[in-house]
Structures are given as C-alpha cells and as structure tokens.
Amino acid sequence: MTDAVVLVSGGAAVTPYTDPERAAASGLAAGNTMTALRTHFLDRGIRVFTAPARIGAGEVREDAGWQGFSEVPVVLPAEVTINAVGRVDDAGVALAGFLRWMEAEHELGSVSLVGHSMGGLFSRAAIREMSGDGPRVDRLVTLGTPWDGSVLGDFLDGEISEADARGDPATLQIFAEVRPYADANSQGAAAEVSRRFLRGWNDAQAGVLDGIPVTAIGAGYFAAATEPRQLWPHDGLVSLASGRADEVPSAVLPRVERHSFPDHVHSIFFADAFGLPWERALTWDPAVFAVVDGALEL
C-alpha cells in the first residue's frame, strides 16, 4: 500500500501545504480546491498531504481571494511551491522538489498522486523530472485534467470559437471571460493548455507513465451540443473527452481507467457561478471520492 496520498491542485489555484495534522486555521483548510478531498481521506484514516501552490512565484501564506484561507502553520520555500499560472514543466520541477522534500521529511518511500485540472499535468511533469530520484509514484488519479486541451487554451489558440458555443449562454459567458483572465494572470499556463501544445507535449512524455496505473475522471455538465467533441460536453474548462484522456495514445498512457461524471462541473467556483450545489463539482462530491478510493485501492 502506498505510504501517502498527495493532492496537487491546478491552474490558478492557491493551496497551502498541509499534512495530516496541520492545515490553514482560518477559511478552507486546504484551499477551495482540495479541502473536501483532504477531509475525506483524513476521515478514512489515510495519510494525506497537499502540495503548496500559488499564483506567481513565492511562498503560500494566505489566499485573500474567493473561499480563501489564512493562518498557515507551515510555509515551505518558494522553490518547492508550484507557480500555478506558470509553465507546466516548471511546475513539475517545483512539485518534484516538494516530493523529494516529503520523502526525506516524512520518510515516504512511495506516494499516490491525485491531481485536479492542471495538477494532473504538473504531476506528470514531476514524475518525469524525478525519474527515480524521489519517492516511487504508485498511482495517478486526475480530476478534470486537460490531457488533450482545454476550453481556455483552445479558445485562445483559435481551435474553437464563439460559433462552436452554439448559442449556449453559459459557454458564451465562459468564452467572454477567458481572454481577460488569461491576460491578467497567465505566466505561461494559458498557452500550454491548448490541444495543439499538449499533443506535442504528450508525445515527449511517452514512457513516463509506464508501470503507473492511471485513472482519468472527466465531467461534462455543459452539454448544449455534441460537436465539436473537442468542446462538447465540457465541465466549464475541460471537455469530457479531454478529462478522460480519450484520445491520448497508448504510448503515453499505457494503463488507464476512464470515468465520466456528465452532470458535474470543474470546481466549486463553477458550481457557485452557475447556481449548483458544491457537491456537483469534481473536487467536492463523495461519489467522485468513491471512484478515487477505488482507483487508489484504499
């Protein structure tokens, strides 16, 4: 059995370092992405940690934004903290450094990684970066990870357009907010979540996941149309097909189980924005957690 589960949040997420005993004392203990999943594992007696992440380089001390946190008891150095709006490979270097620190600090011989959104890409980059120099990665579970592109990346890249929204108000609203958000926040991440970029990046990852069982979980609440499949259905940021890694070649992903949650959205941010209960988010639903438990054989 794996020694610990490590939760890796995604693009633009702010997440404190947490361990089984320590977390942010105010607000959401592990940030607005990983708090519910961390609580689930703790309730089951599973040793669980969250990797620190923030918008931009630096340390994680608080998140003053939506559903944030403060009073972080353990603040790790910037070099082992993910820049959640930076380049995927740079995030992988930071995450690999964090996992090596965990190996030494907590005497972990092996870990299982659960990555949300770009956290799945960060995890894959870290596995390649460690290449045997760090704890063994037993399993990888991804929740809404853009294995093959994202709404944001593909819209900015011109591979999908307003016409592909087929008049759906929610999708048009998402499109309208994509470019201003990327212009204001991205430090490389937005350009690296397009289908065009990731298909080349995936090819370079061939062999990295050999021997590691992967479970790819996708969502598709927004389903006003069926074409293009690159977009429909989607969870607000990632298509169901991309989240399930449906078109990722076996040379890149040799051992994979795929699961679908068609009535779910990407995160509690999207649930809140569209008037849904938080439990309709991939990171907040016990039904999703049950699939994660099965994938990790817990």
Percent of the chain with pLDDT over 90: 99
Long-range contacts of 154-160 (CB under 8 A, 24+ apart): 154/194, 154/195, 154/230, 154/231, 155/179, 156/182, 156/190, 156/191, 156/194, 157/191, 157/194, 157/195, 157/196, 157/197, 159/194, 159/195, 159/196, 159/230, 160/228, 160/230, 160/231
Q: Is 20 helix (H, G, I), strand (E, B) or coil?
A: coil
Q: Which residues contact 72 (CB under 8 A, 6 or more apart)?
A: 16, 17, 24, 25, 60, 61, 62
Q: What does the pLDDT read at residue 47?
A: 98
Residue 51's nearest CA partner among 11, 8, 92 is: 8
**Chain mean position to CA 141:** 10
**Quick one: pLDDT band at residue 37, thresholds 50, 70, 90?**
very high
Q: What does the pLDDT read at residue 1?
A: 82
Question: How far apart are the C-alpha atoms of 258 and 139, rounded to whole Å?
Answer: 14
Residue 132 has pLDDT above 90, yes or no: no
pLDDT mean over 131-148 = 96
Percent of the chain with pLDDT over 70: 100
Using an 8 Å Cβ cutoff, are 242 and 148 in contact?
A: yes
| β strands within 9-59, DSSP E | 26-27, 48-50, 53-54
Cis? peptide before 77, omega within 30° of 0: no
Using an 8 Å Cβ cutoff, are 22 and 73 in contact?
A: yes
**Quick one: pLDDT band at residue 29, thresholds 50, 70, 90?**
very high
Q: Parallel, antiparallel, or unpaired for β 256-261 and 214-219? A: parallel
CA distances from 31 to 22, 39, 122, 292 (A): 13, 12, 18, 19
Q: Parallel, antiparallel, or unpaired for β 69-70 and 26-27? A: antiparallel
φ/ψ of residue 89, rounded to 5: -65, -35
Q: What does the pLDDT read at residue 288?
A: 98
Using an 8 Å Cβ cutoff, are 58 and 72 in contact?
A: no
Dihedral of alpha carbons 155, 265, 181, 190, sign: negative
Residue 261 has pLDDT above 90, yes or no: yes
pLDDT mean over 6-29 = 98
Round the average pLDDT of the chain to a whole number and report it.
97
The domain segmentation of the chain, as residue ranges, is 4-296
Tokens 């479970």 locate to 215
Give, as one character, the DSSP assignment of residue 78.
Answer: G
Residue 115 has pLDDT above 90, yes or no: yes
φ/ψ of residue 158, rounded to 5: 85, 10
pLDDT tens-digit readout, 263-273? 999 999 999 99
Q: Is 137 helix (H, G, I), strand (E, B) or coil?
A: strand
Query: What is the CB neighbour count within 10 angstroms for residue 111?
Result: 24
pLDDT tens-digit readout, 222-249? 999 999 999 999 999 999 999 999 999 9
Instruction: Identify which has the larger pLDDT, 132 or 70.
Output: 70
- The domain 4-296 belongs to what CATH superfamily? Alpha/Beta hydrolase fold, catalytic domain (3.40.50.1820)
